[in-house]
Amino acid sequence: MLTGPAADSLVASIARACRSGLDPQALRESVLPRLQSAIPTDALWWALADPTTLLFTQTYREELPASTGAYFVENEFLCEDVNKWTDLAQSSSGVATLMHATDSDPSRSARYRDIFEPMGLHDELRSVMRVRGSSWGLLCLHREKATATFSVAEEQLLRRIAPHLAEGIRMGLLRQARQSPDAATGPGVILLDADGDVVSVSTAAERLLGELCGSMDRSGLPVEIRALATLLSRLDPPQLTLPPVRIRTSRGQWLALHASRMAPPNDTTIAIIMEEATPGDLAPMIMAAYGLTERERTICGFICQGLTTRRISDHLHLTTDTVQDHVKSIYARTGVHSRGELVATILRRDYLPHAAGA
């Protein structure tokens, strides 16, 4: 375990990599070997997270069978367990081990009993990659019984590194959003029955499925789609739809995944719609990537709609001076100097990259 100057040097080297503008996959390939040299692991799981919904996307695993993907979705959204991502994202540290979460009795965890113990895995060290309140990624490190548990010092080291990883993912996604991907082939539709089995897949959906990176479950669906459908099907009280999840394909294209219940008498059927992400779909993610607060995102949206400072203040019941202060903060965070530049530069460059290439 690295301590003192050696730990400081590792954190600094990872921070430099995270500031270099690497795309998320290249960032992962750059930092994971360094991280594992300091915190040895026998297996790991890494995923990007949609900061708006916390649903995980673009998953990557080492020494964990792909068949476990469906179980982890069920465990996260449908089961009572410890050390869950949603809980970690709300915690002050964002980092915890299974042993600490169970008071050194991992058998209290269904995840441990069902998956880890049969595989010979013992402890897990989970971390949300979070910066300024937004979670951009999820990381889980595993150890076999022979290598014992993760130490408090290793928890603390990962806690130091996690915000840099989040910043690296955020910057990489922001850089990708400025590129000009090819136009989408059109929306695709996947129908799932009450048991989550595939009823039908449109031709467009088949093409788009072939371009999604990451892990597949037993039925051949990406984990992102399975997670979205599972969450919608088990919400209590039931909901008809969920906010879209944004995901990037292997061609560099942004897709929005929508989950909706069908109308009666087929209301146990869930439709997953895959389509090119619209500016409205991308806006929350890009605004979060710029580090805008919730209030600043709202005001930015009004600016992009052409509302004056007076009308924004009336909508939000704020003074015009307060609105102006928020506008100045938006300019500072996004690197622009006027409303016109915000709309022309930020919207055209980041929310409408396909228009810039047209």
- The domains of the chain are located at 4-177, 188-280, 290-356
Q: Give the pLDDT confidence score for residue 129 in this predicted structure.
A: 96
Q: 69 vs 220, 273, 303, CA distance in Å?
A: 11, 21, 42
Residues whose CB is less than 8 angstroms from the CB of residue 267 and which lie 6 or more positions away in sequence, other chains included: 261
Q: Are 97 and 111 in contact (CB under 8 A)?
A: no
Return the percentage of the chain with pLDDT > 70, whole number: 85
Residue type, 172: G
Cα separation, 193 vs 349, whole angstroms: 40
Question: Whole-model pTM above 0.75?
Answer: no
Mean of pLDDT values over 326-353: 71
Instruction: Note whether 4-177 and 188-280 share their fold.
Output: yes
Q: What is the mean pLDDT of the chain?
A: 82
pLDDT, tens digit (0-9, with 9 covering 90-100), for 176-235: 655 544 444 568 889 988 888 888 888 888 888 887 755 566 667 888 888 888 888 877
The pLDDT confidence band at residue 347, using thresholds 50, 70 and 90, is: low
CATH of the domain spanning 4-177:
3.30.450.40
CATH 3.30.450.20 for the 188-280 domain, yes or no? yes
Rounded-to-integer distance, Cα 198 and Cα 322, Å: 51
If pLDDT is split at 50, 70 and 90, which confidence band does 346 have? Answer: low
pLDDT digits (tens, 9 = 90+) for 278-318: 655 666 666 777 778 888 888 887 776 667 899 899 989 99
Fold of 290-356: Arc Repressor Mutant, subunit A (1.10.10)
Q: How confident is the model at residue 353 (pLDDT cuts 50, 70, 90)?
A: very low
Give residue 212's pLDDT. Answer: 76
Please give the order of strands across the beta sheet that includes 254-261.
Answer: 198-201, 188-192, 270-276, 254-261, 245-248
pLDDT > 90 in the chain, percent: 35
